[in-house]
Amino acid sequence: MSTIAFIGLGNMGGPMAANLVKAGHRVVGVDVTQAAIDRHVAAGGVKGASIAEAVAEADVVVTMLPSGREVNALYLAESGIVPKVKPGALLIDSSTIDVDTARAVAKAAAAKGLAMLDAPVSGGTGGATAGTLTFMCGGEDATFARAKPYLDAMGKTIVHAGGPGNGQAAKICNNMILGITMIATSEAFVLAEKLGLDAQKLFDIASKSSGQSWSLTTYCPVPGPVPTSPANRDYQPGFTAAMMLKDLKLAQDAARSAGAVTPMGAEAASLYGLYAAQGEAGTDFSGIVNFLRGR
């Protein structure tokens, strides 16, 4: 069993750290919020005095942070993870951040002889608690192999997408498809409604035809056809519009940086921005169907 420093014990990081505790590891947690620390200790974790002290004694460091800015700061600051971590420790960043920062931090870690994996997740707080997350990983083969037993303790599907940054790339590419396809599906339901075509009829036809998608058949944005979808519980998340907007912005950052043209991705980012701005940032992202329908 290992000593793991876990930085960022929020809605996702908290239950992920708890699953590492359950797997028998000594998990030294750090967070800016006292309540998060208290929950971590109650779950059997240890309170870290600081990032520098927590990582100095850790075999593995796992981070779950809000954005690339925090990842960059906490890894590269003078008393941050890369300067202070024990030689030979394994670094796993499960934050969802921009590809460029993920690659820059991995490069800085490699320059100090440290193996680092970017391993953003999907599956939400439910998956974090149940230990059924999907991890999309970027890093060297040997790094992935070292990290896998720890990821197995927190997730169900662990995928290696290639070298450093490719975990982030895989996540934003997938979620860009998702964001666009959810709007496409929602537009079709609104159009059908205004044309007098029953939602269940459209579902029955499109779900067995070329309009089929995960957005339609697993996460249907109108109530009825898929009883488990958030549409049936007044669009309680699930996956919020704010989270989708974040991922779509990351996809646009990546597209600009890499020189890719993604007009639909840009339009989806605009539409989720408008939807979130109506006070709906905390609503499930499939609620955009109500925004498209209007009042």
Q: How far apart are CA 15 and CA 11, in angstroms?
A: 7
Residues in the chain: 295
Between 112 and 201, CB nearer to a second copy: 201
Q: How far apart are CB 126 and a second copy at their closest, in Å?
A: 14
Residue among 47, 84, 171, 246 flagged as catalytic: 171
Please state the closest distance from residue 171 (CB atom) to a second copy, in A. Answer: 9
d(CA 28, CA 181): 40
Which residues does 5 contact at the CB level (< 8 Å), separation at least 6? 28, 29, 30, 48, 51, 54, 55, 57, 58, 60, 61, 62
Residues 128-147 that bind a second copy (CB under 8 A): 134, 136
Closest by CA position to 125, among listed 220, 26, 239, 42: 239
Tell me the closest approach of the beta carbon of residue 244 to a second copy, in angstroms.
Answer: 11
**Binding status of residue 267 toward a second copy by CB under 8 A:** yes
* Kind and range of the H or E run holding 160: strand 155-160
- Please report whether residue 102 would count as binding a second copy according to CB under 8 A: no
The answer for residues whose C-beta is within 8 angstroms of residue 89's C-beta and 6 or more apart is 55, 58, 59, 60, 61, 114
Stretch that binds a second copy, among 8-16, 79-87, 146-154, 157-165 (CB under 8 A): 157-165
- Select from 69, 107, 112, 201 the one that contacts a second copy (CB under 8 A): 201
Q: Which of 16, 36, 169, 269 binds a second copy (CB under 8 A)?
A: 169
Preceding omega of 238 cis (within 30 degrees of 0): yes
Both tokens of 81, joined, read 């993870």
Alpha carbon distance 249, 79 (integer Å)? 30
Q: Is 125 in the site for a second copy (CB under 8 A)?
A: no
Distance CA 79, CA 85 (A): 10
Answer yes or no: 171 catalytic: yes
By the rule CB under 8 A, 255 interacts with a second copy: yes
Q: H or E element: which one contains 91? A: strand 90-93
Size of the site for a second copy (CB under 8 A): 69
Stretch that binds a second copy, among 18-26, 147-155, 222-230, 251-259 (CB under 8 A): 251-259
Q: Which residue, 162 or 223, has its beta carbon nearer to a second copy?
A: 162
Q: Taking CB under 8 A as the rule, does residue 88 contact a second copy?
A: no
Question: Where do contacts with a second copy occur on this chain (CB under 8 A)?
Answer: 99, 122, 134, 136, 157, 159, 161-163, 165-166, 169-170, 172-178, 180-181, 183-185, 187-198, 201-202, 204-206, 208-216, 218-219, 251, 254-255, 258-265, 267-268, 271, 292, 294
